[in-house]
Amino acid sequence: MALNKKYTVKYKRKKLGLTDYVARLKLLTSRKVRLVVRKSLNNFTAQLISYDSKGDRVLKTIKAKSLKEYGWKYHLGNLPSAYLTGLVIGLEAKNLKIKEAVLDIGLSESLKGSSLYSLLRGALDSGLIIPHSKEILPSEDRVSGKHIQDHYNLLSQDIKNKQFSKYLKNNINPGNIVKDFQEVKNKILNKYKNG
């Protein structure tokens, strides 16, 4: 029980490990729209959120699952999926007349070249201005899935059948991921260019 100043009750979201209020305050003082990125094992969620005294306003939400509309057949939790999700949210931001944003990765660990920064790279390539360091962004080969394609091509047929069984059962060749990535990227760019 909090009876005096010797003990202060923590905020509920801090106690549950859901919010870092120090980091949140720094993001809010920038007075820019936040690009909030959250990752799960099989999906990415990217949101454009603006601060309001009554509560944050979500301007746009894009999930990696929406990439299926563009013909993306691969896993939705990898680097190419993150990049394409970032590209879509960046183009949506342009439609909303948002030019600048600040990245909010929440309590996720910040690792150089991670999928969170692949999403950031997609948003940057769409024309959105976000403060960042160039060293943290993944390389073009990793973003396009070349590392997945190279790994697939190195494996023997037995291991391919085990490790990529779901793809092979659905007649999807992981050896073509770079080509498929470019096709989906072009579909996304053409959709927002024309509409």
Confidence of residue 64 (pLDDT cuts 50, 70, 90): very high
User: Model pTM?
Assistant: 0.88
Look over the chain and give the mean of its residue pLDDT values, rounded to a whole number: 89
- Lowest mean pLDDT: which of 17-21, 31-35, 113-117, 173-177? 17-21
| pLDDT tens, position by position, 144-183 | 999 999 999 999 989 988 988 888 899 999 999 999 999 9
Name the packing angle between helices 177-194 and 146-154 (round to 10°).
160
Mean pLDDT of 137-149: 94
State what percent of residues in the chain have pLDDT above 90. Answer: 64
Domains of the chain: 19-194 (3.30.420.100)
**Identity at 143, one-letter amino acid code:** V
Q: Tell me the helices (H) and strands (E) count for the chain, helix number first.
A: 9, 4
Mean pLDDT of 114-137: 94
